[in-house]
Structure 1
């Protein structure tokens, strides 16, 4: 499968939701859950740029590319981040909005904090006219500077970033290094066309 075909199958099938844990200390809980709430509300109401600002792009890049991320030039990291966020907004966000059309209710877990990392669990209930559905999600959040950023989300234990890394990023990088990876991402981004982010 060539690089462009792989990008067509990016597994961005994820529904984002926000969390308000009841048992954590109010200030700590608020700081941890704020970026999750902001991402979800922003995507839901088509404020995609605001949502992207609350994602940990450098942390995502490091997870996806490992040592290659630290060896990359500033220009390579910058372009990867821009392309990854653009593809994410064009592919994932419309699917999230579609899921929210039938959002019924959400329950939340207490954040599990370990140093500068935290996990926020939640269950969303989708009340579709044809089928009711329950989805369990867990968000990986990391402290970046003085705030927190959303880095990953797992659905039923499957990490979104792990799937993207193993199925797309690593094969593309192995095939063509930074030039091949960025070239495939540029091509996919152009194929999806111009989407104005608000």
Structure 2
């Protein structure tokens, strides 16, 4: 699961070099473009191929942030307890959640071994603001695994607010654990837990 989600996240890291594309391309075109670019980087980057997690962290830090709605992702993962958090706690939750994601999946990002991405057809009307872009990760000797991007149209272009791997939502998957941690230690307890999981990543959500 961690590897598949890391690949899903990795598909988004090459959007940054293409300034302005997020405003010009549809959600499916955007995912297709970035999937081609990131696979090329993963194949050629010697540091990543040699298991350099620092390079993987840097790649995610520098490129993934602008293309996620981190506030919405964190809010969905925390669930109804989000409303009980103060504005300062909400900001710390967003920063800590992002830091945990980077720390958790940068290790798996270095395990890329010639997987390929298949795009599924997308039908979208001009007035739609939320879409599900469907893809599949294919690997020799294994069944393809569906990876879907839940995306929303914003003033800054299309942004991801959830990733669904093999039918399992990333934010829903975290929600059960987060709820338990909040019941045990409150919002501050969850923040401390998330910060401890991402303490080696020097990042900020800039929210």
Normalising by structure 2, report the TM-score. Answer: 0.68
What's the Cα RMSD here? 3.2
Q: For structure 2, which runs of at least 5 residues remain unmatched after alignment?
A: 13-21, 46-55
Asked if structure 2 preserves the Cα contact closer than 8 Å seen for 1:119 and 1:139, the reply is yes
**Aligned 8 A contact 1:83 1:189 in 2:** yes
Match of 1:82 among 95, 104, 109: 95
What SS class does the counterpart of residue 152 from structure 2 fall into? strand
Structure 1, 32-41 or 176-185: larger mean CA deviation: 32-41
CA distance in structure 2 between the aligned counterparts of 1:28 and 1:81, rounded to whole angstroms: 24
The TM-score with structure 1 as length reference comes to 0.71
Q: Partners of 2:188 and 2:151 in 1: how far apart?
A: 30
Paired positions, count:
171
SS at match of 2:121: coil
Q: Distance in 1 between matches of 2:24 and 2:146?
A: 20
Residue pair 1:57, 1:151 contacting (<8 A) in 2 also:
yes
Which residue is 2:172 aligned to? 162
Alpha-carbon spacing, 1:109–1:93, altered in 2? closer, same or farther (3 Å): same
Residues in 1 aligned to 2:155 and 2:24: alpha-carbon distance in whole angstroms = 17
- Residues 12 and 88 of structure 1 are in contact (CA less than 8 Å); yes or no, is this contact kept in structure 2? no
Paired with 2:91 and 2:23, the residues of 1 have a C-alpha distance of: 31
Choose between structure 1 and 2: higher strand proportion: 1
Unaligned runs of 5+ in 1: 1-10, 20-26
Q: Check the 8 A contact 2:130/2:153 in 1, yes or no.
A: yes
**Of residues 63, 86, 92 in structure 1, which corresponds to 2:76?**
63
Partner of 1:48: 60
Give the whole-Å Cα distance in 1 for the aligned partners of 2:194 and 2:23.
37
